[in-house]
Structure 1
Amino acid sequence: MSSRNGTHSGIVNVAILGCGRIAHHMAQTLQGMSRDERYSDLIRPYAVATRADESRARAFADQYGFPHAYGSYEDMLADPEIDLVYIATPHALHADQAIACMQAGKNVLVEKSFTANESQARRVLDVARKTGLTCTEAIWTRYMPSRQLVLDVLGSGEIGTPRQTYANLSYPVSGKARMTDPAMAGGALLDVGVYPINFIAMAFPDAGVERTISSCTLTDRGVDEQFSATFWLSNGVSATIDSSMVSVGSRQGVIQGDAGYLIVENINNPERIDVFDKDHRKVRSIDVPEQITGYEYQVVSAARAILDGRVECPEMPHEETLRIMRVMDSLRAQWGEVYPFER
C-alpha cells in the first residue's frame, strides 16, 4: 500500500479479527471484491485471526482464499503488511481490540455497535486522533446507496413535510450465547435496535432529540429482550422505533408526511423504497443497486480514508458514532440496564 500522501495508489490489505458468523459475511464480501474489477485494485483479502485456535483460522482462510491465518490476535497485529483490521467480535470487546490494533499501527473498521457505551467510544476515538489512523464504525446501512435514495425522496417534496416515522428491526436471536450475556453487552438494543436508531438519524441528519419515552422487557439476566421508544425531534417529527431478539419483525422503515409516505423494505439491508401519495396509491418504487453483499461500501470508504490519510469516513463521522452511542446509553439509563463492566 502507498504511504499516506493523499493518493489512491496501492492496495489495502484487509484482515479480519474473529471468526464468527459476521466474519464469514465479511470474508465472502472481500472475496467477491477481489474478483470484481470495481474493487480489485483497492482491496486485498489478506489475513484472519482467532483468539487462540490456529487450525480454525487456517480453515477460515482456506475457505475464502486469504493467504494468512493467525492463531492469536497478537500474531496478526505483528504482521507489518496489514493495513486495515475489521473487528468482528462481541460489542464488549471492541474498545480494547480497536485500541490494540491502532497501537500496533493498524487502521480499524469496527463492527456495530461501535462499543458498549459512549465512554468506551471516546477512548477509542481519542486513540484514533493521537495515532492519525482511520477508525470507523461498520454500520453498513450508513454507507449504502439506499441512504441517499431515501434523502432524495424526502428532498423532492413528494410526501410533503415529514411529520412521523417508524422503524422496526427484530430477529429471534436470543439463542446465541452472546445475545443474552450481560458481560458481552448482550440484548436487542446494541445488536438490532441500533439499526432503527440509525435509520432515523440518517433520514433527519440535522434534527436533535428533544424528548424520549421508552420501555423494555429485561431477561432474567438483565439484558433488554425487546423495547420500543419514541423520540420527539427538533424538526417536529415524532419517531417511533422497536426491536426484539425474540420475534420476527417487519424490518420496515416508514416516513409519513402531510402529502404521502414512503416505505423502506428491510432497513437492515434495503431492498426497495415504495412511495405513496395521500390516497395510499403507490406512486413509484425505487430499486437499490445490485451489490455483492452490501458490506463492500463500508470497506471501500475505509480503504479510501486510509489512502487519503483521514481518521474518519464521511458516511459515519466520529461525532455521529458518539451521538448514536449517547442515544443508546440514554435508553439503557431509562431501563436501568447496566452491564457488569460499567458498575
Structure 2
Amino acid sequence: MGKKRIGVLGCAHILDRALFTPLKSLEHLGVHAIASRTKPKAESYADKHGIPHAFGSYEELLACEEVDFVYIALSNELHAEWAIRALQAGKPVLVEKPICLNTEELRRLMDAQAASGLPVLEGLMVQHHPWQSKIKRMVGENAYGRLLQVRSQISVPFQDPERQNYRSFPERGGGAFYDFGCYWLQFLQAVLGLEPLGCDAESDFAGPGGCDWTFRAALEYADEVRAELVASFELPGISRHTLEFERAVVTVDDFFRASMGTYRITIRIQDKQTGAVEKLAFEPQNYFVNQLAFFSDVLDGTKDNVPIAQSYERMAMHERLLALARAKRPGNPLASG
C-alpha cells in the first residue's frame, strides 16, 4: 500500500510534537495538506514542514480527494463539527482530545460515524503503550494481593493572565479537568472499568473565566477500592499513577514524558514489607509515533479501532464529575454521586 496522505485541520502548536516530529519515524505516512482560516498561516506551516498544499478554509481541505485521513487539531469547541464534516466528506478522522465537549456533541458524532462506516480515533496517545496493559494484568491477576487504592496526579503549571488560551474559557473546554481528566478516566477505564459505585469531585473554579485551575475527583469501586485524581495548572509538574496493593506499591512516574519525544517509561514496584524495589523498564517509545502507527493499521484493516463508545463512557463520567463539582461551590453542602 502506498504512503497515506494526511490532511491537517488547524495550525496548533501541538502539531510539532504530535505529528510532524513523529512522522519522521513513519515513512508510510506524510502530511499532504494543511488548512487554516487564515491562508498565510497555513502557507507558513506548509513552507516550514514541506507540506505540498495549504488551504485557506477547512472546506477546501475536506474536498481534496488526495487526502486519505484528517487530523483535527482545532480548538476543542470545533472538534465535533469538523469531525462530523470530515466523515461526511468520506475522510477517516484522528481528532485531538477531548473528542467533544459533551455527550450531546458526541452522540451526533457517533451517529455520523455509524452512517459513514469510517474510523474515528480520539487522540489519547497514552493508551498506545504497553505499560497500561502491564498494570491491568497486575490488577487482574492480584500480582501483589488485592488492589486497595489508586492515586493520580496530573499537573502542569500554566498561567494565562491575558486569557489568550482556550484553557481560560469554560465554553471552549478550558480548565484542568478538561485538559487532564480524560487521561485519568482512560487509565481507569483500561484498568478498572468506569462503573464505580459512587463518585465525588470538587474545585473552587478560581481560574481565569471561572475555570477550574485545580480539580479533585474520586471514584469508589467495589471492595472499597478508591481512585483519586488531582488535576492542576497550579501545582508543580507531575504525571504519576500510584497503585497501592496489599503487598506492594506500584508507581508509574512521569508518564507524560513519552509524549515529549522517544523516552523510556518505567514501572516501580516497592515491596511493602521489605522495602525492596523492582523496576520494569520499557524500551524507549514515543506515544505519538505509536498512535499514528496504530491508526494507520486500523485504516489497513490489520487492527481493530478503539471503540468510540469508550470515548462516550469517559465523557459521560466527565460530565457527571464536573456537575458534582459545580454543584458544591464553596459554601454549598458536600454532594456525592
TM-score, normalization by structure 2: 0.87
Over 3 Å counting, the alpha-carbon distance change for 1:309 and 1:262 in structure 2 is closer
- 1:40 corresponding residue in structure 2: 27
- 2:301 corresponding residue in structure 1: 308
- 1:123 corresponding residue in structure 2: 108
C-alpha contact (below 8 Å) 1:167/1:252 kept by paired residues:
yes
Q: Distance in 1 between matches of 2:73 and 2:223?
A: 36
Q: Distance in 1 between matches of 2:22 and 2:38?
A: 22
- 1:80 corresponding residue in structure 2: 65
Aligned ranges for residues 166-177 of structure 1 at < 5 Å?
Answer: 166-175=151-160, 177=165
SS state at 1:21 partner:
coil
How far did residue 187 of structure 1 move?
1.0
Q: Work out whether 1:252 is the aligned partner of 2:246.
A: no
Aligned ranges for residues 1-343 of structure 1 at < 5 Å?
Answer: 9-33=1-25, 39-41=26-28, 43-50=29-36, 52-155=37-140, 157-175=142-160, 177-205=165-193, 208-219=195-206, 221-234=209-222, 236-269=224-257, 271-279=265-273, 281-291=275-285, 293-308=286-301, 313=305, 316-336=306-326
How many residues are paired up?
Answer: 317
- 1:4 corresponding residue in structure 2: none
SS state at 1:252 partner:
strand
Q: Distance in 1 between matches of 2:274 and 2:172?
A: 44
Q: Distance in 2 between matches of 1:305 and 1:224?
A: 36
Deviates more, 1:207-216 or 1:108-117: 207-216
One-letter identity of the residue aligned with 1:216: S
Coordinate RMSD, CA, aligned: 2.1
Q: Which runs of 4+ in 1 moved over 6 A?
A: none
C-alpha contact (below 8 Å) 2:34/2:53 kept by paired residues:
yes
Q: Distance in 2 between matches of 1:280 and 1:53?
A: 61
C-alpha contact (below 8 Å) 1:196/1:267 kept by paired residues:
no
Using the aligned pairs only, state the percent identity: 26
Q: Distance in 1 between matches of 2:282 and 2:7?
A: 28
How far did residue 28 of structure 1 move?
2.5
How far did residue 149 of structure 1 move?
2.7
Consecutive unaligned residues of structure 1, counting only runs of 5 or more, are 1-8, 34-38, 338-343
Consecutive unaligned residues of structure 2, counting only runs of 5 or more, are 259-264, 328-337
